[in-house]
Amino acid sequence: MDSLENERKTTGWAARDPSGILSPYTYSLRNTGSEDVFIKVICCGICHTDIHQAKNDLGMSNYPMVPGHEVVGEVVEVGSGVNKFTAGDIVGVGYVVGCCKNCSPCNTDREQYCAKKIWTFNDVYTDGKPTQGGFSGSMVVDQKFVVKIPDGLAPEQAAPLLCAGVTVYSPLNHFGLKESGLRGAILGLGGVGHMGVKMAKAMGHHVTVISSTDKKKTEALDHLGADEYLVSSDTEAMQKTAESLDYIIDTVPAFHPLEPYLSLLRIDGKLILTGVITTPLQFLTPSVMLGESNLKFFLGFHFFHESKALCGNREEVHCRDFGWEHEGTRGDVGVL
C-alpha cells in the first residue's frame, strides 16, 4: 500500500483548560504515510505527567489536549514502507513519536536529544497538526516509535512498562546498577515507585522503600516484596541506614529536601531523580561533594541521561523484554 487514507477522525478525552477536567473531543488524525502504522487503541496508562500537562503545571500546555503516552493498541493498517509490523499485531507507543532521523543523537539511538523530537501529545507534528495521545480511539505513529508487545503479555500489563517501567529500568541499566546483590531504595511508592521495587527485586537487589509515613508499609513489604521499609521522619531509623545504599531512585513529584537521602548513600552512591518537580530543588553542595555521592537527574518520562532523561526506543525494547522475562515486573493496574 503506497499511501493510507489521508485523513481519519477519532474521538479522545481532552483537557480544554488547566482545570484538568477531560471531555470527549473529536479530531482528525494527521496524514498517514508509507512509514506509518494506524493503531486502534486498546488501553492507555495514566501517568502523573499526563496530569502535569493537562493542568499546565509546566507552563507549556496547549489546548485542546488529549494526554496519554503509555499506549497499547492493535495494528489496523500499515504503510508500504513498514517492515516491522503487520495488521493484527499488538503494539505499544511511548512518549516520543518523531525525530529528524539524521542528527548525531538519532544515529546513536538517543532520539530524545534530537532538537526536532516530537512528543506524543501537546506538540506539533511535521505536518503542522497538533499531536494527540493515547486517551483516544486510534493513533497514527511512525513505525520507528512503535514496539511489539509479546504474545501473552496483557495490554493493561504492558502499558506501564512504556513509561513507569522504563523510567526506573533505564537508569539502573545506564548507570551499571543491574548487578545482583546491590542495595537500593525507592523513594515514594506511586506508579513509578511500585515499578521501581519490582524492577530492582527482579535484578536481585536488596530493596528499601522510603516514604514519609507508614501507610504503605504493608503494600511495600507484603505485596511488592520489598526487604525493608523506612519512614523518612524516623530519625533513628534514618541514621541506622546512613551510608548503606548503592542508589536511591527518587520518584516523588513534589518539592522535598534532598540532604536526608544523600546521607543514606555509600561513597559513589547515586541519587536518581525521576519525579517532575515544578519548583526549584534545594540542597547544600557539600553534602554531595564531601560524601562523593552522585546526583543524577532523570525526567519522569522514559529516556535517560546523566543530567536529564527519557529512554531511547532501543532501551524501551530492552525494558519490554525484561518485563516479559520477569513476570514480577508487571504493573499492578486497575482497569477503568
Which tens digits make up the pLDDT trace of 228-256?
A: 999 999 999 999 999 999 999 999 988 88
Asked if 147 and 225 sit in the same domain, the reply is: no
Residues 6+ apart with CB under 8 A from 279: 255
Give the per-residue pLDDT at 308. 35
Q: Mark whether 243 and 130 lie in a shared domain.
A: no
CA dist., res. 165 & res. 182, Å (int)? 19
Q: Is the pLDDT of residue 167 over 90?
A: no
Strands 183-187 and 206-211: parallel
Q: Omega of the bond prior to 150 within 30 degrees of 0, cis?
A: no
Pair 55, 136 in one domain: yes
pTM for this prediction: 0.82
Whether residue 226 has pLDDT greater than 90: yes
**Are 189 and 144 contained in the same domain?**
no
What is the model's pLDDT at position 267? 87
- Take residue 222 and report the three cell numbers written for it: 507484603
- Residues 73-118: pLDDT tens digits? 999 999 999 999 999 999 999 999 999 999 998 898 878 778 999 9
- Say yes or no: 56 and 142 in one domain: yes
Q: What is the pLDDT of residues 273-329, one digit of tens each?
A: 888 777 877 776 666 665 555 555 544 333 333 333 344 455 565 665 666 566 666
Q: Domain boundary residue among 162, 195, 224? A: 162
Say which residue the cell 531509623 belongs to.
237
Same structural domain, 158 and 29: yes
In sequence order, what are the beta bridge partners of 210? 187, 230
Rounded distance, CA 232 to CA 250, Å? 13
Phi, psi (deg, nearest 5) at residue 51 = -70, -45
Q: Number of folded domains in the chain?
A: 2
Q: Does one domain contain both 34 and 169?
A: no
| pLDDT at residue 189, rounded to an integer | 95
Q: pLDDT tens-digit profile of 46-83?
A: 998 899 999 999 899 999 999 999 999 999 999 999 99
220 within some domain: yes
- Give the lowest-confidence range in 203-207, 256-260, 326-330: 326-330
Domain enclosing residue 283, as ranges: 165-297
Within a domain: 223: yes
Domain final residue pick, 139, 162, 185: 162
Confidence of residue 331 (pLDDT cuts 50, 70, 90): low
Task: Show which of 162, 195, 226 is a domain's final residue.
Answer: 162
Within-domain flag for 280: yes
